A = this chain, B = another copy of it.
Amino acid sequence: MAVNSADVQGWGKMYGIGVGPGDPQLLTLRACDVLRQAPVVCVPRSTPGEMGYTWEIIRSHLDASRQEILHLHFPMTRDARELETSWGRAVDVAAERLAQGKDCAFVTEGDPLLYSTFVHVLRQLNRRYPQVEVQIVPGVSSILAAAATARVPLADGDDCVAVLPATGSQEMLELALSRFDTVVLIKVSRAVGRVLDILNKLHLEDKAVFISRASSSREEVVGQVASLRGRDLEYMSLIIVRK
């Protein structure tokens, strides 16, 4: 028992860090602190060899001469088994460092608990290494940055807000759009034609605004959403419908 307890105490902490939507100035003070101090920084990427978007946000806060930067590969796939394997492998790689008493900072775009890879990392870590203490540093989500860029209020007073993927069922999209004051449709790129059809049917086209990569140098805002039809859109695109 004593040995186990010592083991647990010897493990490093895992930090899940939200680094915000794209503008490095939208990092929090706390995220900067943890990034500067963590001996190990875990950076997810979907394409081997590419440094990725998150890297651009955090790189100026890191010091490769005294920090280990772990680039962890998470494939962009819907294959559940491949995903489980990649999350598990990422957690194992981090756990090797944690077991040596080193704190790890796992960075994610936006916020770590809102449509983020860290949700899976957290689940696998809790299951396989329950002795590891986890601290989560919330971040500015891309939804908030998109609203800020477009200057569209998300909610006020007793408003109800729904956030859901544009790739969901027709019935769920119509339910959200007919019953909620504000609807944020994420993952719009793969379903824009369909979303436009529904908005048109519900007479909501003029209440919608499209935002892509809010706060980054590649930011785009489109008020006339009908013009999006047939366009090849960024993966990180969303539409806010505010009645």
A residues with a Cβ closer than 8 A to B are: 16, 18, 20-21, 23-30, 32-33, 111-116, 119-120, 122-123, 134, 136-141, 144-145, 147-149, 151-165, 167-168, 172, 175-176, 179-180, 215
Contact = CB atoms under 8 A, between A and B. Distances in A.
Contacts of A137: 26, 148
16 contacts: A21-B138, A28-B29, A111-B140, A111-B154, A113-B155, A116-B156, A122-B151, A136-B148, A138-B145, A140-B140, A158-B167, A160-B164, A160-B165, A161-B162, A162-B163, A163-B163
A152 to B, nearest CB: 7
Nearest to A175: B179
Contact of A119 (B113, B149, B153, B215): B153
Nearest to A139: B140
B144 A18 contact: yes
Contact of A30 (B26, B112, B114, B136): B26
Nearest to A147: B113
A168 B156 CA distance: 13
Contact of A114 (B16, B112, B120, B155): B155
Nearest to A111: B144
A29 to B, nearest CB: 5
Nearest to A181: B164
A16 to B, nearest CB: 8
Given A147-B113, A151-B122, A154-B114, A138 B29 contact: no
